[in-house]
Amino acid sequence: MDTYDANGLTLQRVRDLVWEIPREDDMNVAARVLASETLLDEISGDKTLEQLRNTATLPGIVEPAICMPDGHQGYGFPVGGVAAIDAENGCISPGGVGFDINCGVRMMTTNLTYDDVRGHEEELVNALFEGVPCGLGGGGVVETDVETVNQILDRGVEWALAEGYAVPADLDHCEDEGRRHDADPSAVPQKAKDRGKNQVGSLGSGNHFLEVQRVTDVVREDVAEEFGLAEDQIVVLIHCGSRGLGHQVCQDYVREIEKAHSGFVGGLPDRELAAAPAGSQLADEYYGAMCAAINFAWVNRQLVMHRVREVFEDVFDRKWESMEMHLLYDVAHNIAKKEAHPVDTAGDVPRLDPDGDERDLYVHRKGATRAFPAGRSELPPAFADVGQPVIIPGSMGAGSYVLRGGDRSLETSFGSTAHGAGRLMSRTQAKQEFWGGDVRDDLRERQKIYVRADSGATIAEEAPGVYKDVDEVIRVSDTLGIGDTVARTFPVCNVKG
DNA sequence: ATGTGC
């Protein structure tokens, strides 16, 4: 099939797994969906494609606007969206980052095998549930004050290192080495800091979780070896973000931008796309505040990991160093960053083109993961020759994937790939379809997956059946060469927010 | 995602 019709839009098939909404009317550039027809079917009835089309109207956007294979509708922009916008003549949009600034994932490896953990699952999941704060509201691994929050916002994981919650190797295995230097703590609203001060080291709620997993499949043996992954190995995955602090930053700046740039925002097809023109005071303030919230989220995941190491020490009665509980990598999937990408500016629209001139772009990745291949200058030495690890969490019944940045990601998607399985239904619908207690019992009896959660409703909202097939999402990423499959994991213990 | 409405 060469075209695909949905919701009054006609997508043209560019090549296998690449679909285009041609530029028309108020669009500044064409938009692309990276997906199989099966995945397209799952978004054909909601607002995902219309939202993607709308993002293509943003001033300064570089072709193409992109929706990833796990995309679904979100606030203004689709979740699973990549919008690369000129940082000099374009704009920056909080909705293109998302409410949970630097929601992301880190994976820790261990030298334990599944046999070491079998028989201890119940004790382990209970100890993790007791040790790691989760759910809505306050309570973190550490209680801090606004002065400390300012330090965290400014210094990121360097703060955690100075305070004894991290080792130097943790910083080398984190995107941006755990510190975004463009952070401006003074641009973070006081209310956001107040919300954050008792949430440092906490999972939160929704789709956030902490999971002990076993590696079930190694697909690229050489890369897996570089990453320290092998079959049957136990790993730990942590998925959380910037909690109430990031949420407050997003909310306040959306409002400020709507007020100060009402004419600019009014010209956009959806108020939820609210953006500040590049070079404006609010664009700079939002960028500084967002970067600070990014640092906060990295510290949050660092402190959760620190606590996980302590819990494993208690349960297995060994030091974490002897269990080799090292951070593999921490990657963000709700983020915007100034990055240089080659853009052809000679044609009728600015277009991503390997032969173009390097331009500074605000690359908005909302529910999309940076997936830089070997050779990209931002990568730390450990991954410079192999490509960065990309960690993609699936549902609690399906497991997750480790990829590495693919050779074609820069030319296809501004160095990005998917971020998860992607929801199939709303949380409200999920609670009508599933009962949390039944889901938990089923997972234990049928798949030996031990789940502990803050509430039964959360389990229902996150039941495996509310997610797309993560295998299909990964197949698209791998086939397109934007993120190459390295290993697959399967849940052993899951702590849900 | 979120002290789950203004």
pLDDT in tens, chain A (497 residues): 799 999 889 999 999 999 999 999 999 999 999 999 999 999 999 999 999 999 999 999 999 999 999 999 999 999 999 999 999 999 999 999 999 999 999 999 999 999 999 999 999 999 999 999 999 988 999 999 999 999 999 999 999 999 999 999 999 999 999 999 999 999 999 999 999 999 999 999 999 999 999 999 999 999 999 999 999 999 999 999 999 999 999 999 999 999 999 999 999 999 999 999 999 999 999 999 999 999 999 999 999 999 999 999 999 999 999 999 999 999 999 999 999 999 999 999 999 999 999 999 999 999 999 999 999 999 999 999 999 999 999 998 899 999 999 999 999 999 999 999 988 888 899 999 999 999 999 999 999 999 999 888 999 999 999 998 999 999 999 999 999 999 999 999 999 98
Where residue A382 falls (left for φ over 0; alpha for ψ -120 to 50; beta otherwise) is alpha
Q: Å between A294 CA and B3 C1'?
A: 21
Q: Check whether the bond before A64 is cis (ω within 30° of 0).
A: yes
For strand B, the positions having any atom within 7 A of a protein Cβ are: 1-4
Q: Which helix (H) or strand (E) holds A91?
A: strand A91-92
Does the C-beta of A248 come within 7 A of strand B?
yes
Query: What's the rounded Cα separation, in Å, for the pair A78 and A80?
Result: 6
> Which residue type sits at A212?
V
Contact present, A289 and A254 (Cβ < 8 Å): no
Q: How far: A192 CA to B5 C1' (Å)?
A: 19
Query: Nearest residue to B3, CA vs C1'?
Result: A137
Measured CA A46 to C1' B5 distance, in angstroms:
24
Tokens matching residue A384: 């410079």
Residue A419 falls in the annotated catalytic set: yes
Q: How far, in Å, is the CA of A184 from the C1' of nucleotide B3?
A: 25
Which amino acid, residue A349? Answer: V
pTM, two decimals, is: 0.97
**Dihedrals phi, psi of A33, to nearest 5 degrees:** -110, 130
DSSP state of A16: T
DSSP class of residue A323 equals T
Asked if the Cβ of residue A206 lies within 7 A of any atom of strand B, the reply is yes
Nucleic strand B under 7 Å from the C-beta of A497 = yes
- pLDDT of A424 reads 87
Strand B contact residues in chain A (132-161), C-beta within 7 Å: 136-137
Is nucleic acid strand B under 7 Å from A120's C-beta?
no
Q: Output the distance from A73 CA to B5 C1' rounded to whole Å.
A: 21
Q: How many CB atoms lie within 10 A of CB A59?
A: 16
- In this complex, the nucleotide whose C1' atom is nearest to the CA atom of residue A458 is B4
CA gap A111, A14 in Å, rounded: 45
